[in-house]
Amino acid sequence: MHKLTIDIDFLKTTLLELLHIPSPAGLTDEIVHYTGATLDAIGVPYELTRRGTIRAVLRRNMQERRLSSPACAIVSHLDTLGAMVREIKPNGRLALTPVGTWSSRWAEGGRVTVFTETSRYRGSVLPLFASGHVYNEQIDTQPVSWDQLELRLDEDIETSADVDALRIQIGDFVAFDANPEMLENGYIVSRHLDDKAGVAAVLAAVKAVVDSRVPVPMDCHVVFTLTEEVGSGARAVIQSDVSEVIGVDIGPVAAGQGAKERGVTIPLMDSAGPHDYHLTRRLLKLCEQHGIHSNRDVFRFYHSDASAAVNAGHDVRTALLCFGGDASHGYERTHISVLTDLAQLMTLYIQSGPTLAEDRHHRLDSVDSFSHQLDADQLAPVETSQPDVSELVRLNEAREPADPKGI
């Protein structure tokens, strides 16, 4: 097993190209085409579901003595946050509703594209009280809410009829510009790093495995989902032979969190519950053995493709591998070294084989070969001496003073 060299130029180029393709959940066909073409160039076969979820497969290339071997899945998502036209106002401004869960704080000031069924238009998302010269202190007192925003189109518009003439309709998608910057010191700042940075790292890892021709001991399904930001994600794309699913996504960096913009963040739990004990510890061990800095964390308000697979009823072990990103669901920031470490850890995992050999069986008929999380010493009872209550009573009786009246 080797920690493979990651093509950083490929990673950066792929990330920039992904960020420049609009893909709010529900408007993802074009980024599916891009990802499929990238897999074609790398030389990895894939298949698409009806809606476009991609399942590529790195095939096992080692001799297998057992009758069967489980597969693993690495899952990242192509969809991003966005918005949709909710109302066309009499003055020609557009009211919006969010696609995905995110605060209107981060929408204010955004440059956007409205995609109609035949064309596109540019505009800005503004607060209702946008001019200090007109509204003075009202600007600073209006609430934070999507109802407090409106989209100003960069067209000659004064009434709703002008909007109708452009064939803009309720339900048209609104994509927010990513505005990426890659700085010389390695920092990357952009909207939608969640999860396009994760996708770029996955593709870079796949490219490294293919180019190096290292042994792959079990089939690895590389899955790109389309609806993670709206809650479904990997619910319907995990094959029955997959025994473990690793989600690749952003790790929110903030006070009180373990995620960092350095190394790989491995959360032990998110809002869906704990991730698999054996798989998460194995990933942490791979980091330790191969000199990859790792951070442990627990996410309280976080859903992922991995948890979506379990919620859909798949009997799989799950884990998350995250790139630390500051200001998640806003103008996010990470570092190229984080994405490189993440890609290298994935190459090690792909080379490492099943977490537990017994997982090749869908069912066991005995606990004899089932795993253990705790050993005998950890389960030994804690010896706590108990007081003899009867002796305590006798001592108390002996201490009682004699009644001076003899009563």
158 part of the active site: no
Q: At what angle do helices 336-352 and 277-289 cross, to 10 degrees?
A: 110
Contact 209, 4 (CB under 8 A): yes
- For the chain, helix, strand, coil in percent to 5 are 30, 25, 45
Tell me if residue 136 falls in helix, strand or coil: coil
Alpha helices (H) in 85-221, listed in sequence order = 132-135, 138-141, 160-165, 193-212
Q: Maximum Cα–Cα distance for the chain, whole Å?
A: 110
Cα–Cα distance measured from residue 248 to residue 352, given in angstroms and rounded to the nearest whole number? 18
Nearest C-alpha neighbor of 92 from the set 167, 148, 147, 164: 164
> Is the Cβ–Cβ distance between 118 and 137 less than 8 Å?
no
CB atoms within 10 A of CB 241: 16
Active-site position among 150, 228, 244, 332? 228
Closest alpha carbon to 341 in 275, 233, 264, 251: 264
**Nearest of 26, 1, 160 to residue 91 by alpha carbon:** 160
- Tell me the DSSP string of 218-285: S-EEEEEES-GGGT-GGGG---TTEEEEEEEEEEEE-TT----SSSEEEEEEETTEEPPHHHHHHHHH
Residue 192: name the closest of 278, 317, 76 by CA. Answer: 76
Task: State how far the Cα of 318 lies from the Cα of 4, in Å rounded to an integer.
Answer: 24
Whether 249 contacts 265, CB under 8 Å: no
Q: What are the residue numbers of the active site?
A: 228
